[in-house]
Structures are given as C-alpha cells and as structure tokens.
Amino acid sequence: MSGLVRPWSWAFAAAGLTYAATVALTGVQGAPGLLVATLTFASFSVLVGLGQMAVITLGPGNVDLSIPAVMTLAGTLSLKLMDGAAGTEAWGLLAALGIGLGAGAANYALILLLRIPPIIATLSASFMFQSLAVWSNRGLRIKPPDTLATFSTGATLGMPNLAWIALLAAAVFWVLIERSAYGRRLSAIGQNARAARLAGVPVEGVRAATYLLSAVMAALAGFWLACFSGGAALNMGAEYLLMSIAVVVIGGSSIAGGNSNVPGIWGAAMFMFLIVSMLNSYGLGAGVRLILTGAVIIAIVAAASGRRAAA
C-alpha cells in the first residue's frame, strides 16, 4: 500500500485540508475566489520552485540564493524596456529571459572560476543584481503594456492564465527531469558526483545548465509578477527566497539531492499560499507566518531524515 503513495501526495493532501479549513472559516461563498487566488499566487512559487528544485537536486551545498534579486532585476528592466508601449510584449519577455541567462552565467562563473561555494556565490551575486535593479529603477514604477496586464490577471477556461503558464512549465520540467539525458545526469550527480564524473557524466556542464535554468525561471517569474502587479517593485522577490526552498522540501524532493519531485512543487505551492490565507483569516501577522513556515520545513526535513534512517 505504501508503494501506491507518492511523495507528492502529502503536499496535495495538506493543500486540500488547508483549503477546506479556510473555506470553513471564511464561508462557502468565498470558495471559488479562494481557489482562483490560490492557483494564481501559487504559480509564481511554482516557477521559482522548479528552478530551485533542479539546483538542490545537484546535491549538498547547492542552492540558488539569487532568485529574489533576479526576479527584481528581470521585472524592472523588462518593464523599463517596454515602457508600457503596445507591440513591445515579446521584446520584454525576451529581455527578461536574457537577463536570467546572464544572471545564471554570472552565478556559475563565481562558483567555477573563483571556487566559491554556491550558497556564497549566489548570495554575493544577488547583491550585484539587486544593486543594478535599484540603479535602473530610480524609484519609478513603470506599468506593463495593457495586453500583458490584462493577460496576467485574466483566465482561460476558468483557470488563471498564470496557472496555465506554470502548469506548462511544470510539464516541461517533468519531461526534462524524468525523460531526458539531462535529468538522468542531474540525478546521478546529486547521488554521487564523483561516481558520475568517473562514469563520463559532464558534471560541470550539467551544473552550469542547472544554474542557468534556475535563473531563467526566476526571471520568468519576475516578469509575470511585475505584469500582474502593475509594475516592478524593488522588494517584489523578497518572499520567494524562503518560498522557493520551502516548496521544494515540502513537495517531496530530497534536500540532500539526487531526487526531484515536479508534481510536488504544485501541491506545496498551493499549500503554502493557503496557510498564509488561513493565518490572515485569523488576523495573524507576517512574523507568525514566517515562524510557521520555518516550523513546517523543519518538521518535514526531520520526518524525511527519519524515513531515510529507518530504510
């Protein structure tokens, strides 16, 4: 029976229970709106979580702490390039993705050339990215083109457009992780980097691609968050540092690396948003929410460690 229970099942079960508890607290009439809000805001966590998941799968010590700054930089510069003008939407999206590629390359250059641990390299790079965003923003809040603002806040077939984008991204990642040579190499490196290198796996090439992928996903999330919010803010990515790690851990991926869980990212992202919504319904503040988030992560990591020890 236990073999029928997937690691991601617990994340979706927790999301379902939290949804039911929140509806019971706020009233059944608010259930549809809560579901739409959950799918919308969880989409941003899914986008950054997918990239962070790939990095964490590389093994111990690998984590991308530059995600919030990359989101801010991509959102700020892409909206500044478009300047609210119609017909610039594609250029803005391409600019955001290009910024992601540049940020990922900078992260990996610090890791490879200077032999800096990833956690230090990406944290250091984040200060540079954030400074560029501050310098380019200069306190201005540029609105996105009307087409992007309408699309990012709209829905198709009853589901938010942003949720469709995140769902497509998750499907692409599932194929990439589960059905491609890249995914097999990524897992091999996470399980034993030395053995993977001896087996002929291009370890540094896979690591470089993974950090590029993480930054591109952060840039994509920053672009859509800026469009959805009506403009880029200098603190727009702050909450996604902890969130990007939380959805990976809660979603069932191994914090020790070597094992990814794409479906669990969605379940964990919805669960985290619903927890915040429920706490807001009780009138609890941001401090309590952060404490609870940390407690949930600690509990899940401890439970996962216990299962591995028992095995």
| Residue-wise pLDDT tens digits, 262-300 | 999 999 999 989 888 887 777 666 677 678 767 766 776
Average pLDDT, the chain: 88
Q: Any residues with CB less than 8 A from the CB of 304 and at least 6 apart, and which?
A: 254, 255
135, 136, 221, 283, 290 from 100: Cα distances, Å: 18, 16, 10, 37, 28
Higher per-residue pLDDT: 272 or 50: 50
Exposure of 267 by Cβ count < 10 A (0-12 exposed, 13-18 middle, 19+ buried)? buried
Domain interval for residue 126 = 2-310
Domains in the chain: how many in total?
1
Higher per-residue pLDDT: 5 or 109: 109
Extract the tokens encoding 227: 């469009």
Q: Checking DSSP bridges between strand 159-160 and strand 155-156, what pairing results, if any?
A: antiparallel
Predicted confidence (pLDDT) per residue in 200-243, tens digit: 999 999 999 999 999 999 999 999 999 999 998 888 998 899 88
Measured N-to-C along each axis, helices 262-281 and 286-310 cross at an angle, to the nearest 10 degrees, of 140
Predicted confidence (pLDDT) per residue in 53-67, tens digit: 999 999 988 999 999
C-alpha angle 14-19-23 in degrees, rounded to nearest 5: 150
pLDDT at 258 over 50: yes
Question: Looking at this protein, which amino acid is placed at residue 262?
Answer: V
**Confidence band, pLDDT 50/70/90 cuts, at residue 2:** very low
DSSP 8-state symbol, 283: T
Contact 216, 47 (CB under 8 A): no
CATH (domain of 204): 1.10.3470
Q: Which helix (H) or strand (E) holds 22?
A: helix 7-26
DSSP 8-state symbol, 308: H
pLDDT at 124 over 60: yes
